[in-house]
Structure 1
Amino acid sequence: MNGNNPYAGAPGVTPAGEPDRDAVELSATQERELRTAVAGIVSRTESYLPDSYVVGSELSVGSNGPQATVAVNPPAGHPVSAGFAPDVEDLETGLADTDTEEVAKGLAASAALQVMDAVGEITPTAK
């Protein structure tokens, strides 16, 4: 019967309705840097794609540190997303543009591939 109880969980897991006591606390500067980096990923991803693609993001901070998800919903095919979990120390010094650029390019390419796959009959030019 205990398995059917929504409040029962594995030992060490925060019970339902209680705040996560192990959550990493970010300073205002760190949180601002994270928001700026994720906004940059969204902006860069949008710049690689036509207007018919919808790009969005979500931020969270838990016991594993800060985490961001950037997702693209293409006009055809399945949505794609990428997780981005920078180190807290990197938020102090600033995130490298190469890291955020790599995430943006990968997302844009994956979203374009989803459309190509949904449309079909497209011959790849490289392997």
Structure 2
Amino acid sequence: MHVDMPIVELYKYEGKSPLPVDFDQYWDRALQELKQQSLDYQLVESDFKSQVADCYHLYFTGVGGAKVHAKYVRPKENLSTGQGVVMFHGYYGDSGDWLDKIAYAAEGITVMALDCRGQAG
């Protein structure tokens, strides 16, 4: 077994980039800004139709006034379990196709797939 440093030192190791001095202040400011944020959302029915789910485009105003989009897939009422999944895509650009969310809805799980800001528009 290969270990970079003795186990006693690993318990104290804080990484190469220690916590910024203003870490708590930053998050205090950010959370205050979030509390002031209006939900200001719009739910628009999608053209994509399914026998197991209702599909919507969800638009809302994010922090700093940014317009944010997500795909919202809700199981038909008789299937819903009350469970949910929030998806964040990687660098490939957007929340993907509706179809890959339908499998969750078929199991009674609600899905919100967010289009991350700054990724492919």
- Name the TM-score class by shorter chain: 0.3 to 0.5
Q: Which has the larger radius of gyration?
A: 2
TM-score normalized with structure 2 length: 0.37
Q: Which of 1 and 2 has higher RCO (CA within 8 Å, sep 6+)?
A: 1
